[in-house]
Protein backbone atom coordinates (compact mmCIF):
# COMPACT_ATOMS: atom_id res chain seq x y z
CA UNK A 1 0.00 0.00 0.00
CA UNK A 2 1.03 3.55 -0.63
CA UNK A 3 0.78 6.63 1.53
CA UNK A 4 -1.73 8.09 -0.93
CA UNK A 5 -4.05 5.15 -0.15
CA UNK A 6 -3.85 5.94 3.55
CA UNK A 7 -4.61 9.61 2.87
CA UNK A 8 -7.64 8.66 0.77
CA UNK A 9 -8.91 6.43 3.59
CA UNK A 10 -8.45 9.27 6.10
CA UNK A 11 -10.38 11.70 3.88
CA UNK A 12 -13.14 9.12 3.34
CA UNK A 13 -13.32 8.50 7.11
CA UNK A 14 -13.70 12.23 7.80
CA UNK A 15 -16.36 12.58 5.09
CA UNK A 16 -18.23 9.48 6.32
CA UNK A 17 -18.65 11.24 9.66
CA UNK A 18 -20.22 14.26 7.94
CA UNK A 19 -17.24 16.61 7.90
CA UNK A 20 -15.51 18.29 4.96
CA UNK A 21 -12.03 17.12 3.90
CA UNK A 22 -9.86 17.49 0.82
CA UNK A 23 -6.73 15.58 -0.12
CA UNK A 24 -4.30 18.04 -1.66
CA UNK A 25 -2.96 16.47 -4.87
CA UNK A 26 0.74 15.96 -5.36
CA UNK A 27 2.27 18.39 -7.81
CA UNK A 28 3.65 16.77 -10.95
CA UNK A 29 7.42 16.54 -10.80
CA UNK A 30 9.30 18.15 -13.64
CA UNK A 31 11.53 15.80 -15.58
CA UNK A 32 13.49 18.67 -17.08
CA UNK A 33 17.01 18.79 -15.72
CA UNK A 34 17.64 21.95 -13.73
CA UNK A 35 13.96 22.83 -13.50
CA UNK A 36 13.10 25.03 -10.53
CA UNK A 37 9.36 24.44 -10.58
CA UNK A 38 8.77 21.60 -8.17
CA UNK A 39 6.63 23.19 -5.43
CA UNK A 40 6.10 21.25 -2.24
CA UNK A 41 2.62 20.99 -0.83
CA UNK A 42 2.30 22.17 2.77
CA UNK A 43 0.55 19.01 4.05
CA UNK A 44 -1.61 16.19 2.69
CA UNK A 45 -5.15 16.95 3.86
CA UNK A 46 -7.14 20.02 4.82
CA UNK A 47 -10.40 19.54 6.71
CA UNK A 48 -13.03 21.52 8.57
CA UNK A 49 -14.24 19.73 11.67
CA UNK A 50 -16.70 21.36 14.06
CA UNK A 51 -15.97 24.72 12.42
CA UNK A 52 -12.21 24.42 12.92
CA UNK A 53 -9.57 24.29 10.21
CA UNK A 54 -7.48 21.12 10.48
CA UNK A 55 -4.24 20.36 8.64
CA UNK A 56 -3.21 16.70 8.42
CA UNK A 57 0.04 15.19 7.26
CA UNK A 58 -0.33 11.48 6.54
CA UNK A 59 2.63 9.14 6.94
CA UNK A 60 2.80 5.42 6.34
CA UNK A 61 5.28 2.83 7.59
CA UNK A 62 5.34 -0.83 6.61
CA UNK A 63 6.34 -1.78 10.17
CA UNK A 64 6.94 -0.15 13.51
CA UNK A 65 10.15 1.89 13.48
CA UNK A 66 11.50 5.07 15.05
CA UNK A 67 9.61 8.18 13.96
CA UNK A 68 11.15 11.63 13.98
CA UNK A 69 11.36 15.03 12.37
CA UNK A 70 13.47 13.54 9.59
CA UNK A 71 10.34 11.85 8.24
CA UNK A 72 8.85 15.25 7.46
CA UNK A 73 10.01 17.80 4.90
CA UNK A 74 11.27 21.15 6.19
CA UNK A 75 8.38 22.90 4.40
CA UNK A 76 5.88 20.72 6.29
CA UNK A 77 7.51 21.52 9.63
CA UNK A 78 7.42 25.21 8.77
CA UNK A 79 3.73 25.16 7.77
CA UNK A 80 2.65 23.17 10.83
CA UNK A 81 4.56 25.53 13.11
CA UNK A 82 2.97 28.51 11.38
CA UNK A 83 -0.54 27.08 11.85
CA UNK A 84 -0.01 26.30 15.53
CA UNK A 85 1.94 29.44 16.44
CA UNK A 86 -0.64 31.75 14.84
CA UNK A 87 -3.51 29.78 16.34
CA UNK A 88 -4.84 29.49 12.79
CA UNK A 89 -6.23 25.99 13.25
CA UNK A 90 -5.09 22.56 14.36
CA UNK A 91 -2.32 20.44 12.87
CA UNK A 92 -1.96 16.67 13.16
CA UNK A 93 0.27 13.90 11.92
CA UNK A 94 -1.58 10.67 11.14
CA UNK A 95 0.89 7.78 11.14
CA UNK A 96 -0.41 4.58 9.55
CA UNK A 97 1.40 1.32 10.31
CA UNK A 98 0.32 -1.08 7.59
CA UNK A 99 1.57 -4.50 6.58
CA UNK A 100 -0.11 -7.39 4.76
CA UNK A 101 1.18 -10.31 6.85
CA UNK A 102 0.38 -10.44 9.63
CA UNK A 103 -2.42 -8.07 8.66
CA UNK A 104 -1.88 -4.77 10.41
CA UNK A 105 -3.63 -1.45 9.73
CA UNK A 106 -3.15 0.91 12.66
CA UNK A 107 -3.55 4.68 12.74
CA UNK A 108 -1.69 6.69 15.35
CA UNK A 109 -2.69 10.36 15.65
CA UNK A 110 -0.34 13.02 16.96
CA UNK A 111 -1.29 16.62 17.73
CA UNK A 112 1.50 18.78 16.30
CA UNK A 113 1.66 20.94 19.47
CA UNK A 114 2.66 17.87 21.46
CA UNK A 115 4.65 16.14 18.76
CA UNK A 116 7.01 19.05 18.06
CA UNK A 117 7.83 19.22 21.77
CA UNK A 118 8.47 15.48 21.78
CA UNK A 119 10.75 15.78 18.75
CA UNK A 120 12.98 18.17 20.72
CA UNK A 121 14.06 15.10 22.71
CA UNK A 122 14.73 13.18 19.48
CA UNK A 123 12.83 10.55 17.56
CA UNK A 124 10.05 8.49 19.06
CA UNK A 125 11.53 5.04 19.52
CA UNK A 126 9.94 1.97 17.98
CA UNK A 127 8.93 0.57 21.38
CA UNK A 128 7.25 3.86 22.30
CA UNK A 129 5.22 3.77 19.09
CA UNK A 130 4.22 0.15 19.73
CA UNK A 131 2.88 1.22 23.14
CA UNK A 132 0.78 4.09 21.70
CA UNK A 133 -2.97 3.77 21.43
CA UNK A 134 -4.16 3.40 17.87
CA UNK A 135 -7.26 3.17 15.74
CA UNK A 136 -7.73 -0.04 13.80
CA UNK A 137 -8.58 0.31 10.12
CA UNK A 138 -11.77 -1.49 9.14
CA UNK A 139 -13.19 -1.76 5.62
CA UNK A 140 -10.98 1.05 4.34
CA UNK A 141 -12.19 3.45 7.05
CA UNK A 142 -11.04 4.54 10.49
CA UNK A 143 -13.44 5.34 13.33
CA UNK A 144 -12.35 8.88 14.15
CA UNK A 145 -15.15 9.57 16.67
CA UNK A 146 -12.86 10.33 19.63
CA UNK A 147 -10.68 12.52 17.45
CA UNK A 148 -13.72 14.52 16.29
CA UNK A 149 -14.87 15.00 19.89
CA UNK A 150 -11.50 16.49 20.85
CA UNK A 151 -11.73 18.94 17.95
CA UNK A 152 -15.34 19.82 18.76
CA UNK A 153 -14.50 20.52 22.41
CA UNK A 154 -11.34 22.41 21.51
CA UNK A 155 -9.23 20.18 23.72
CA UNK A 156 -5.79 18.90 22.88
CA UNK A 157 -5.69 15.48 21.29
CA UNK A 158 -3.77 13.16 23.56
CA UNK A 159 -3.72 9.43 23.81
109 closest CA partner among 15, 10, 40: 10
pLDDT of residue 58: 95
**Distances 131 to 69, 105, 126 between C-alpha atoms, Å:** 19, 15, 9
Q: d(Cα 148, Cα 117) in Å, to the nearest integer?
A: 23
Q: What is the pLDDT along the chain (159 residues), one digit of tens a residue?
A: 688 889 999 999 999 999 999 999 876 665 556 666 667 789 999 999 888 899 999 999 999 999 999 999 999 999 999 999 998 889 999 999 998 777 889 999 999 999 999 999 999 999 999 999 888 888 889 988 888 877 766 665 554
Per-residue confidence (pLDDT) for residue 139, from 0 to 100: 81
- Listed by start position, the domains of the chain span 3-23+40-153
Is the pTM above the cut of 0.75? yes
pLDDT given for residue 159 in this prediction: 44
Per-residue model confidence (pLDDT) at position 34: 60
Which of the listed CATH numbers 3.40.50.720, 3.40.1350.10, 3.40.30.10, 3.40.50.1820 matches domain 3-23+40-153? Answer: 3.40.1350.10
- Plot region of 34 (φ>0 → left; ψ -120 to 50 → alpha; else → beta): left
Say if residue 114 is exposed, middle or buried (CB neighbours under 10 Å; 0-12, 13-18, 19+).
middle
Amino acid sequence: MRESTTNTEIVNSIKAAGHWAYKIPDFPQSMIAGSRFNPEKPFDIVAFIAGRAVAIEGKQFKKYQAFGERHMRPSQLEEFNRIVDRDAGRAFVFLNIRQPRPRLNRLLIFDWKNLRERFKDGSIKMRELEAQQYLEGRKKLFNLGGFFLSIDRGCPWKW
